[in-house]
Amino acid sequence: MNENEDFSGRLQFLSAVIVCIILVLIGRAGYLQVYDGALYARLAEGNRIRIIPAEAARGTFYDRNGALLVTNRPGFTVSLLPLTEPISPEVIARVSTLIHVPVEEIQKKIDAHVGFDPIRIKNDVLPDVVSVIEEQKDQYPGVVVEVLPVRDYIFGEYAAHVFGYVSEINEEELERRKGEEYKSGDIIGKFGLERIYDKDVRGIKGGEQVEVDVSGRPVQILGRQSPVPGNDLILTIDQHIQEAAERAVDDQLAAIHANAAAVVVMNPQTGEILAMLSRPAFNPNLFAGGISTANWNVLNNNPYHPMDNKAITGEYPPGSTFKIITGTAALAEHKVTAQEQIFDSGRHWIIPKTNAAGEALGWINFEQAMAHSDNVYFYEMGNRLGIDTIERYARMFGLGARTGIDLPYEAEGLAPNRKYKADNYEDGEWYLSETFDAAIGQGFNLVTPLQAAMVVAEIAADGKRYKPHLVQRIVDVNGKTVREIRPELLSTLDVDPSVIRHVQEGLHSVTKVGTGTALFAGFPVDIAGKTGTAENSQGRDHSWFVVYGPYTNPNVVVAVIVEQGGFGSVAAGPIARRILEAAFGLDKAAPQDPRGKSEGKQ
């Protein structure tokens, strides 16, 4: 066979194959026209095939020991699914009355909507609403009820400022997140860990290809893609310590008729936050289904700002807790030795500033001054150091800057400095009296409770400062670790180890012979701490207590502030003691459920 004959044979074979393919296609077209034509015509009419997204459940939150803290539950969502024509004004008005959402708000969502996804009007409605829609379908054409996952903060206000809350994305957020696959109606994290780790816990949407009837209700499912749940967060929080802190704060606020407080509990060796709370608090479940105007007004009009996480946004004069920094600076800069005695006559000899109660302690050294929180001694340290050195050491301890914790809206605080006064006051000159104030934690001097905890943690950890964090691990739906957050050393205090040791000894004496002695009498674990009372022009002074333990190899730091609580050992101290009891397993009562139910025997 020559080449031409070979080519001719191949061409004939290829032609035969093409003819066969054409015949098959013609046959299939005829089959569809004869047998399935009615079906596809019916589906095509009015564009009756829809892709309905299936929401992915957000990842759950667990404490460091595996206790469930935040989860999801099924809830009913009222949505609109317009087909061949828009939802009529009459139906919109009917829906508005039924679910108590203004017509204007519904219309706004309709106008902003693009595509054929359901237009979600209200999440987590009551079963009564569902019954009305299902029983009166003819009155609600284009209105459907979806079953979607709803965020469930199972302990209500418990750790609300840590967990945060979720709510529907708004127009501004949509604009800011263009290109990130967010759509109108999506539920996103707005506050707390929900906001910071939103992309981790969101999951991946699935969907169903469905045939719908003229009312927008599914008739049959043509295809399905299952959603992928979001990743879980394993937190650094210890549920037992958090619970003890919540109860201790609430009990103490009630006892002394105070209204606001904040607590930070952390491991100084790792930066892990073991507990954090702010009072007053809010119930994040109020936001999961869309908060009502009445509930929002209650929160928004509260003068003590329950939506603020005071542990990281509250900025307060540190009071005598700042003497930790002043004392460190004075020893490190050789402005005083630990043994040198200074005479306290009750007032300083240059500027007549006095001790808090006007007492005179006579000749005292560094440890005694720290133990008894002697103002006159630390005024003199301020006099010897000067404001610029005090500022430098304040910044060495991290003051005047955010800590970098994995929560939003953290405040910077204010390290005392000349520039701040010059920039913000008509009389910008810095005076010695202001240096005295700064040395004892007053005046141009502000810290957050987290920063206060970090200062004492740095002393407890022999000068090491670790980045505070609330998440240990991120794991997928199968339990596989996606990311692990390891301790991150931010800095090491550049002072001689003997300086830190002297400061530690001074803080130890606070709880043995000083201002914290009565509070910790008989406490079985050796600890070190500092009381503080911060002046407040708006009422009673703020109450501080910072403490760490065990004194040797510490693994717990507690910082407590009670707004307008008075003296630190009286208002904040008892809270700190109860938290330490829980942290060291000294609380004898049966474990308590955060919702108030005892887990012990009845």
Q: What is the pLDDT of residues 140-151, one digit of tens each?
A: 988 989 899 999
How do 61-62 and 232-235 pair as beta strands?
A: parallel
How is residue 502 written in tokens? 């002297």
Query: 50-87+133-232 has which CATH code?
Result: 3.90.1310.10
How is residue 109 written in tokens? 């969502």
Mean pLDDT, range 534-559, rounded to an integer: 94
Q: With 90 as the cut, is the pLDDT of residue 324 above it?
A: yes
Which residue matches tokens 């957000």?
58
Quick check: 361 and 345 in contact, CB under 8 A?
no
| Higher per-residue pLDDT: 291 or 82 | 291
77 SS3 class: strand
Which residue matches tokens 């054929």?
116
pLDDT digits (tens, 9 = 90+) for 192-232: 999 999 999 999 998 888 887 765 566 888 888 899 999 99
CA–CA distance, 529 with 371 (Å, rounded to integer): 9
CA–CA distance, 110 with 104 (Å, rounded to integer): 10
Report the pLDDT value the prediction gives residue 40, as an integer from 0 to 100: 46
- For helices 89-99 and 127-135, what crossing angle results, to 10°? 150
Q: With 90 as the cut, is the pLDDT of residue 292 above it?
A: no
Q: Provide the residue type at 322 as one letter.
A: F
Q: Within 13 A of 81's CA, how many CA atoms are on the CB side?
A: 26
Query: Got the DSSP string for 47-60?
Result: T-EEEEEEPPPPPP
Quick check: 544 and 533 in contact, CB under 8 A?
yes
Residue range(s) of every CATH 3.40.710.10 domain in the chain? 239-583
Q: With 90 as the cut, is the pLDDT of residue 118 above it?
A: no
Residue range(s) of every CATH 3.90.1310.10 domain in the chain? 50-87+133-232
Mean pLDDT, range 13-27, rounded to an integer: 44
CA–CA distance, 473 with 489 (Å, rounded to integer): 18
Report the pLDDT value the prediction gives residue 424, as an integer from 0 to 100: 96
Query: Got the DSSP string for 20-31?
Result: HHHHHHHHHHHH
Quick check: 273 and 241 in contact, CB under 8 A?
no
Report the pLDDT value the prediction gives residue 51, as an integer from 0 to 100: 74
- For helices 497-512 and 323-332, what crossing angle results, to 10°? 140
CA–CA distance, 75 with 125 (Å, rounded to integer): 7
Report the pLDDT value the prediction gives residue 10, as an integer from 0 to 100: 44
DSSP 112: H
C-beta pairs of 215-219 under 8 Å, 24+ apart in sequence? 215/137, 215/140, 215/141, 215/142, 216/80, 216/81, 216/82, 216/83, 216/141, 216/142, 216/143, 216/144, 217/81, 217/137, 217/144, 218/52
Q: With 90 as the cut, is the pLDDT of residue 55 above it?
A: no
Cα first-last separation, the chain:
101
Average pLDDT of the residues of the chain: 89
Which residue matches tokens 């061409």?
11
Mean pLDDT, range 513-517, rounded to an integer: 93
Which residue matches tokens 């060796």?
269
Q: With 60 as the cut, is the pLDDT of residue 594 above it?
A: no
pTM for this structure?
A: 0.87
CA–CA distance, 40 with 34 (Å, rounded to integer): 11
Which residue matches tokens 């013609």?
26
- C-alpha distances in Å from residue 437, one per residue of 66, 321, 430, 431, 451: 46, 13, 12, 10, 19
**What count of other Cβ atoms lies within 10 Å of the Cβ of residue 163?**
24
Lowest mean pLDDT among 169-173, 189-193, 271-275, 542-546: 169-173
Q: Positive or negative CA dihedral for 439, 442, 444, 446?
A: positive
Query: 239-583 has which CATH code?
Result: 3.40.710.10
Confidence band, pLDDT 50/70/90 cuts, at residue 600: very low
- For helices 323-332 and 387-396, what crossing angle results, to 10°? 110
Report the pLDDT value the prediction gives residue 180, as an integer from 0 to 100: 83
Confidence band, pLDDT 50/70/90 cuts, at residue 305: very high
Quick check: 591 and 240 in contact, CB under 8 A?
yes
- C-alpha distances in Å from residue 487, one per residue of 389, 411, 468, 472: 30, 22, 8, 9
- C-alpha distances in Å from residue 532, one per residue of 288, 470, 544, 562, 566: 39, 26, 5, 11, 9
How is residue 117 written in tokens? 């996804």
Confidence band, pLDDT 50/70/90 cuts, at residue 569: confident
The H or E element spanning position 224 is strand 218-225
Percentage of the chain surpassing pLDDT 90? 71
95 SS3 class: helix
Mean pLDDT, range 100-109, rounded to an integer: 90
How is residue 314 written in tokens? 């509250």
Q: Provide the residue type at 10 as one letter.
A: R
How is residue 393 written in tokens? 């050491």
Rg over CA atoms, the chain: 33
Lowest mean pLDDT among 139-148, 236-245, 318-327, 379-388: 139-148
Q: With 80 as the cut, is the pLDDT of residue 301 above it?
A: yes
Lowest mean pLDDT among 341-345, 472-476, 563-567: 563-567
- C-alpha distances in Å from residue 208, one per residue of 49, 52, 461, 510: 10, 5, 55, 66
Mean pLDDT, range 584-602, rounded to an integer: 53
Q: With 70 as the cut, is the pLDDT of residue 570 above it?
A: yes
DSSP 202: S
- C-alpha distances in Å from residue 453, one per residue of 149, 262, 265, 459, 484: 37, 11, 8, 10, 24
Report the pLDDT value the prediction gives residue 209, as an integer from 0 to 100: 84
Q: With 60 as the cut, is the pLDDT of residue 356 above it?
A: yes
